[in-house]
Amino acid sequence: MSDINIRIENRTGRITLTRPAALNAMTYDMCMAIDAALKAWRDEPKVAMVMFDAEGDKAFCAGGDIAELYKTGKAGDYGYGRTFWRDEYRMNAMIAAYPKPVVSFLQGFTMGGGVGIGCHGSLRIVGESSRIALPECGIGLVPDVGGSQILARLDREAPGMGAWIGATGLRLAQGDATFGFADRFLPEADWAEAKERMIAESAAKVPEAGAPASEIRPYLGQMAAHFATGTPAEILESLKADSSEPAQAAAKAMERSCPLSVACHIEILRRLGPDCSMEEALRLEYRFTWRCMEQGDFLEGIRAQIIDKDRKPKWRHANLAEVSAAEVEAMLAPLGDDELTFH
């Protein structure tokens, strides 16, 4: 497949995304190719570890390729999207529980679907260009691909931290990524040598290198005071009353995002808690994504951001105060026979 290069080098199963012109956005075919490779290598004694990387310097993977999701959804076919998300989430869960080391090199943008393949392994490496984000609330989705588990666990670091990152689509620089999305900073000039050594030694390890200082750490306590409690509408009003730059930036980002998505995202994190499992997170995410085309704002979000690019989505709700608890409950209610399974 021209979009992805899957092979075995020495005892390393290597998966390289090869769509740099498209910021390595992941298609359904790429997702299923990764799924098949991981299944084949799981019990293969000739493969000792797995390595994810990508061509180009702008992005490891900037998300899913959503053109087909939009096309089929607008035609009234919600099955394609539901199948895509179901199979993608199962693959994400397999990475998180993989019995062999999984290494990822996350240059440039790692967003959405890129988080799903790059941020659940056992050794996640960032460099100077790395920017990690879950911006789904801006397109009528919620942080998914297991991202809600990472965000929920951040409450151990600071209550409300995950809600802040997800509700605003905050981009985390390399010094921030090691909170929950990455394990190690390594200068990108050293990546080629590190990959060669890992492959030669079949060992998932890189030399220690001091990460740059976190840009958001100084504001964690302040933002926790806004995001840790209260309804989404109350959180927004609290931010707007805080004249500091971080609070004002967060308020503006929340006001641009889809109100239903923000409300559901915050509820998902509160239901999960910091001790949640990957499968629990994916099940809740799937309840939302299963409904997001028919009952949510996903198609309008894609139209405004990707198709027409007018950046003026007409959300179902004018603001967060209009989103009722009953509507959030309806988006996250069990799916019965359609509930996400992992078998």
Residue 238: φ, ψ to 5°? -65, -40
Contact 194, 293 (CB under 8 A): no
Write out the E strands in the chain: 4-9, 12-17, 49-54, 59-61, 102-106, 109-111, 123-126, 131-133, 184-185
Tokens representing residue 294 in the block: 């028919």
State yes or no: is 113 an active-site residue.
yes
Other beta carbons within 10 Å of 4? 20
Q: What are phi and psi of 154, to 5 degrees?
A: -65, -15
Catalytic residue among 13, 64, 116, 147: 64
How far apart, in whole angstroms, are the C-alpha atoms of residue 305 and residue 288?
20
Give me the catalytic one of 53, 65, 144, 176.
Answer: 144
* DSSP structure class, residue 204: -
CB under 8 Å to 334, separation ≥6 — which residues? 287
238: its two tokens:
């609290």
Which residues are registered as beta bridge partners of 8?
A: 13
Distance, CA of 71 to CA of 86 (rounded, Å): 18
140 is catalytic: no
243: Cβ contacts below 8 Å, ≥ 6 apart: none
- Total Cβ atoms within 10 A of residue 107: 23
C-alpha span between 261 and 144 (Å, rounded): 11
Alpha-carbon span 165 to 171, nearest angstrom: 8
Catalytic-residue membership of 144:
yes
Catalytic residue among 81, 113, 114, 301: 113
Strands 12-17 and 4-9: antiparallel
Q: How far apart are CA 74 and CA 121, in angstroms?
A: 35
Structure tokens at 114: 């890129």
Active site residues: 64, 113, 136, 144
